[in-house]
Amino acid sequence: MAAAGRSGEAATRFRQDEDVVLAADGTPWGRISAFSDSASGPSGGVNALAVVSLPGRPTLVAGAGDTGVVCLWDAADGRLVQDPLPGHPDRVRSMTALPLPDGRVLLASGGDSGTIAVWNPVTGQPVREPAGDWPGGVTGMCAATVPDGGSRLVTATPKGAVRLWDPDTGECVGRLNPYGSPIRSIAAVPISAGHTLIAASDTAGRLHVWDPAVDDPWEPGAAVQLSARALAAADHRVAAVATVPTPGRAVLATGDDRGVVMLWDLATGAPIGDCLPASTGTAGLPFITAATLRDGRMVVVTGTGHRHRLRVWEPETGAVEHIALDAAVTCLATSGPNLIVGHDRGVLSLPLTRQ
């Protein structure tokens, strides 16, 4: 695959100056909002994030860290809206929002010891007591919809168990990943209204696509696998996956440990356009998120677990921007045009367009 846009050295650079992001020319780009802290909240950093869009209510950001508690902040001002919610005996490794057919939105979290908790984010109360005990923990979560109108919580473990759960009852209603490959990253990609595919990368760098609407996990259903030829040609061993919000098209972003990011059309399994190339200082275990900006542009943001730098990539033009932060990135999410960054000391928000 051809390299996208400019090289890492030529890309536009931004840096943090106290609570402001400065552009390369020294002019302010936008203000950084640090989410409020709490003595009983996440300590040692925030390992997992989820953005909860509630009908008729402010959007919330959920985050959790090593203490096993979940915090809920107002995405607009970073204000803590609930007391920290104790739900896990140890570190929380994964989170997801769970939109339900009746309009409710729940929040799920997965812990190091394999526990799964489901919350009502409006009241801050658990839907039921945390349950489960899977070795290796719950390393990934996402929400899926199936054509019969149902919603499913999808969980993955490094041992290769990928399960579908009824969010209300906690009953396991299906399984994916029939080969049992240890899962490293997982994401849900809508292919139509009411139908979601599940994409996952395993520890060997392979990418799997499943259809949760199919009872037999060996049957592909609507799932199309990524082009093996394109993956091999790019020497792309997938470490992380993320959904790209593109109207009318099911698009998946994949990242590898070199910092390369590729986009894929899940209807055909073919790559889309050029890739984001590797870049010195941004390689390593990747975190990926994507957003559609107010002017309709789509951007992909990537960072790594051992650096303070982010790359913001606009695939349509190939433009790449680097943002240097004063904190080590641990996870990423987006809320509208804002980037939510979990880091080694908490959570912050910054604009993806000039303010």
pLDDT of residue 1: 27
Q: What is the pLDDT of residues 65-122, one digit of tens each?
A: 888 889 999 998 899 998 888 878 888 999 999 999 888 999 999 988 888 999 999 9
Task: Identify whether the C-beta of residue 108 lies closer than 8 Å to the C-beta of residue 98.
Answer: yes
Q: Which long-range contacts (CB under 8 A, 24 or more apart) does 16-20 make?
A: 16/323, 16/324, 16/325, 16/326
Task: Identify whether the C-beta of residue 301 lies closer than 8 Å to the C-beta of residue 292.
Answer: no
- Report CA-CA distances (Å) from 178 to 34, 209, 210, 213, 313: 42, 12, 10, 15, 35
pLDDT of residue 165: 94
Please report which confidence band the pLDDT of residue 283 belongs to, taking 50, 70 and 90 as the band edges: low
- Sheet with 207-210, edge to edge strand ranges: 183-192, 195-202, 207-210
Residue 296: CB atoms within 10 Å: 8
Residue with tokens 């890492």: 8
Higher pLDDT: 249 or 214? It is 214
Which tokens hold the place of 149? 């109108």
Rg, the chain, Cα only: 19
Task: Identify whether the C-beta of residue 320 lies closer than 8 Å to the C-beta of residue 312.
Answer: yes
- Residue 136: HSE in the Cβ half-sphere, 13 Å Cα cutoff: 13
**What is the value of pTM for the model shown?**
0.90
Nearest CA to 110 among 73, 74, 145, 70? Answer: 70
Length of the chain in terms of residues written:
355
CA distance 331 to 173: 29
Instruction: Give the CATH number of domain 44-283.
Output: 2.130.10.10
Consecutive H or E run containing 232: helix 228-233
- Judged against a pLDDT cut of 50, whether residue 2 lies above it is answered with no
CA distance 290 to 300: 4
**Count helices and strands in the chain by DSSP H and E runs:** 1, 30
Q: Domain extents for the chain?
A: 44-283
Mean pLDDT for the stretch of residues 235-244 = 95
- Judged against a pLDDT cut of 90, whether residue 241 lies above it is answered with yes
CA distance 137 to 158: 7
Residues 6 or more apart whose Cβ sits within 8 Å of residue 296:
none
Task: Return the percentage of the chain with pLDDT > 90, whole number.
Answer: 52
Higher pLDDT: 142 or 148? It is 142
Mean pLDDT for the stretch of residues 19-38 = 76
